[in-house]
């Protein structure tokens, strides 16, 4: 019991230490700005002890929304030489210096979750940003939809930066003209835990291409350089729109368009089934090539509200090889790398979404297994950015905000409530 209480104190201390006043950095040094889906998890973490601060996080994020509805994946609230590429490279066109791409829209769901946790505080706040969240959803359907499934235009947009899913599409890019640049991530974290130089050159080439087009959606769509269907984006958007529609009905908003979007994305989600493997997978729209990897994103199907019992034995099989939660790539995949970012490690926030989705679909025992694995992981190995799914060794940044938040929201909870 004391261990759980101490971990709660540690988690709250991490969120306070990473708080920059209205927004929270993922961790000191490595990520010095506000990241989109990180902030959504952080808001839920703050809600466990400071609801007003939780809403500040979401409201600050939404103040960065572009006129077209897109909410950027990074908001550069103040200069910091310790990160590359910065706002001068991205040249975002929104009201706050920002990147030119988005991230998985978990903020849609989590804003509604804040409201449901305490309507006395959240009703007016959700009313104020609900139309903004609905506009973000509509942007996805306008500019990131293919037959209802959602694609990404940059690996960073998916949140799973160097996942094996993107390998074949990145090979089609010749990063000519990128020029010299200095990475900052490998000065904070061992290079063996980060994307390779091959990948990074292509990431920067895509950023430069977008900036040259002034991030105009129509211009970039006319000659797409990278378009890959993504389970993470599809499933989190579907969940977000479901939550927005339900809350909108209760608050008196017109949800007609939103419900039409939901129907389209529900149909599109089935489009993500790899016909050779049967699991949810990514697909390069330029070549039709499937990613071929069973990833933690494959198991977000339940979080999206889909009843897919055939995915249960696949998850159970993966977990027999991993002691500490759902790996970002099946350890039996030849591309598996236990410590390299999204090519093997387990992530607390992905475990949380998978576990909560399982519970909502009635798969209680498996949901508890994933949660207990994650709880044990954090108790034993702390609040790292991500972890070796087999040994538990921490990797990436330390004192990480969304890992602390996941502890407070979910992993540190017992069946009887807070530990």
User: Which sequence positions are flagged as catalytic?
Assistant: 161, 385
Residue 61 preceded by cis peptide, ω within 30: no
């Amino acid at each position: 019991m004391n261990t759980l209480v101490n971990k709660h104190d540690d988690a709250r201390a991490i969120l306070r230490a990473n708080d920059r006043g209205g927004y929270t950095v993922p961790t000191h040094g490595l990520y010095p700005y506000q990241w989109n889906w990180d902030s959504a998890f952080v808001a839920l973490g703050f809600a466990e002890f400071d609801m007003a601060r939780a809403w500040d996080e979401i409201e600050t994020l939404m103040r960065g929304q572009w006129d077209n509805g897109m909410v950027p994946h990074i908001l550069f609230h103040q200069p910091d030489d310790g990160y590359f590429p910065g706002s001068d490279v991205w040249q975002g066109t929104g009201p706050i210096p920002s990147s030119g791409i988005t991230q998985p829209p978990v903020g849609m769901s989590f804003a509604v979750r804040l409201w449901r946790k305490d309507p006395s505080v959240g009703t007016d706040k959700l009313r104020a940003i609900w139309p903004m969240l609905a506009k973000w959803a509509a942007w996805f359907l306008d500019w990131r939809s293919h037959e209802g499934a959602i694609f990404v235009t940059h690996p960073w947009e998916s949140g799973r930066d160097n996942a094996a899913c993107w390998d074949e599409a990145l090979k089609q890019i010749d990063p000519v003209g990128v020029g010299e640049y200095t990475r900052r991530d490998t000065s904070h974290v061992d290079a063996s835990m980060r994307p390779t130089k091959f990948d990074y050159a292509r990431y920067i080439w895509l950023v430069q291409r977008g900036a040259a087009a002034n991030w105009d959606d129509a211009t970039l769509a006319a000659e797409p350089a990278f378009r890959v269907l993504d389970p993470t984006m599809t499933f989190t958007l579907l969940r977000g729109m479901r939550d927005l529609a339900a809350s909108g009905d209760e608050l008196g908003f017109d949800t007609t368009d939103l419900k039409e979007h939901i129907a389209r994305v529900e149909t599109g989600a089935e489009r993500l089934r790899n016909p050779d493997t049967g699991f949810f997978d990514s697909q390069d729209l330029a070549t039709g090539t499937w990613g071929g990897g069973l990833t933690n994103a494959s198991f977000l199907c339940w979080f999206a509200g889909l009843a897919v019992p055939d995915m249960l034995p696949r998850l159970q099989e993966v977990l027999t090889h991993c002691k500490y939660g759902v790996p970002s790539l099946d350890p039996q995949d030849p591309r598996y790398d236990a410590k390299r970012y999204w090519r093997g490690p387990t992530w607390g926030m992905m475990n949380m979404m998978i576990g909560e989705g399982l519970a909502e679909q009635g798969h209680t025992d498996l949901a508890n297994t994933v949660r207990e694995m994650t709880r044990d992981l954090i108790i034993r190995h702390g609040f790292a950015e991500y972890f070796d799914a087999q040994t538990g060794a921490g990797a990436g940044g330390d004192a990480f905000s969304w890992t602390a938040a996941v502890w407070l929201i979910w992993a540190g909870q017992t069946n009887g409530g807070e530990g």
